[in-house]
Structure 1
Amino acid sequence: MLFMLCLLGFFVVWLFGHVLGFGLYLIVLFIGHLLAYWYIYCPLGILVWLCLSFGVQNILLILAAVIIILALVLTITLVSSKSETTHHS
């Protein structure tokens, strides 16, 4: 009986070690994935946080306004640089 209890103890400790090791492996894998792709998850997390804070429709309106402003700034920059190159020629 004592031998069977020892075998059961060995098995439980062995199983617990494997379960714990697998859990640690998954945690390290997940954290490594987050650290490797931070440039994707960081803006995505900020966007999700903003959507939860302000609402999805407001964030979509803000993003549309930002895109329109950036497009206008890019257009003005390209037109002004094009006009400068024609004046120097």
Structure 2
Amino acid sequence: PMMRLLLQQGVDVNARDIWGKTPLAEAVLLECPISTALLLENGADPNIADRNGESPLKVSVSAHSRGIAQLLLENGANQI
């Protein structure tokens, strides 16, 4: 997959877009557990909130994505 290739090339997993969202935040928003896990395995910070103050954990809880929320918690998420 493209994400794996980019990670192998050393892309910054905590880079932000113009809304302050990281790739991890987007993976959580899209409810994609595989991408979420891959980003976390490659050093994505689960506590980076976007410009509105929403953390990936908050987004996952709001979307009732229990599996993703659990994955974030297991990888150090501590902000809601």
What TM-score, normalized by structure 2, do the two folds share?
Answer: 0.22
**Greater percentage in helix:** 1
Greater Cα radius of gyration, structure 1 or 2: 1
Bigger RCO (CA 8 Å, 6+ sep): 2
What TM-score, normalized by structure 1, do the two folds share?
Answer: 0.21
